[in-house]
């Protein structure tokens, strides 16, 4: 995929053979820092090919932070899957009370990572795969939930041992 002032062009190959696309869609999640998530689906008459890329931009990204920071955002944890720890980031548009908690798929509480008033800004917290009592949790899928007065948003984190 090539992005420039003229737009986006792309091509993809299967077994070194150029494929003919009839459509595409891309969903870009811009962050305030250097890692950005790109989800794409390229399709032709026979199939859709979904892909996920994490891109790292060093130096100036050309991203207008006013556009990125116009809402509270919970980012996907990195790395995911993880072992032994993962980084959970969020951007807080409005100052206020914030709760960031981890639950298992049964909805059982595992750990509180944040439970306080925070000013506007980007935050990053490490979850070390342990519960509130310091016990290592089992491999599996966990949900982390960001709550403010305006939103409640969940994402999945996968712990592999």
Mind spelling out the 3-state secondary structure of 131-149? CCCCCECCCEEEEEEEECC
Give the residue-averaged pLDDT of 126-136: 95
Residue 61: per-residue pLDDT? 45
Q: What is the mean pLDDT of the chain?
A: 78
Identify the band that residue 161 occupies on the pLDDT scale cut at 50, 70 and 90: confident
pTM: 0.59
Q: Is the pLDDT of residue 98 over 90?
A: yes
Q: Is 75 exposed, middle or buried (0-12, 13-18, 19+ CB in 10 A)?
A: buried
Question: In Å, how far are 55, 65, 85 from 79, measured between CA atoms?
Answer: 13, 24, 8
Q: Is the pLDDT of residue 150 over 60?
A: yes
Q: For residues 83 and 70, which has the higher predicted lDDT (pLDDT)? A: 83
Residue 62: per-residue pLDDT? 47
The residues that bridge with 114 in the sheet, in sequence order, are: 100
Q: Is the pLDDT of residue 122 over 90?
A: no
């Amino acid at each position: 995929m090539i992005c420039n002032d003229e737009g986006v062009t792309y091509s993809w190959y299967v077994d070194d053979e150029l494929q003919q696309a009839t459509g595409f869609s891309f969903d870009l999640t811009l962050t305030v820092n250097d890692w950005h998530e790109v989800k794409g689906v390229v399709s032709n008459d026979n199939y859709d090919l979904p892909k996920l890329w994490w891109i790292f931009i060093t130096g100036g990204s050309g991203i207008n932070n006013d556009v990125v920071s116009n809402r509270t955002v919970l980012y996907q944890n990195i790395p995911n899957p993880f072992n032994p720890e993962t980084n959970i980031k969020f951007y807080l548009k409005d100052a206020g009370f914030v709760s960031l908690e981890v639950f298992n798929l049964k909805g059982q509480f595992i750990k509180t990572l944040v439970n306080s008033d925070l000013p506007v800004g980007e935050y990053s917290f490490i979850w070390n795969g342990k519960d509130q009592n310091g016990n290592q949790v089992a491999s599996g899928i966990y949900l982390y939930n960001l709550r403010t007065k305006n939103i409640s948003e969940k994402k999945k984190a996968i712990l592999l041992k």
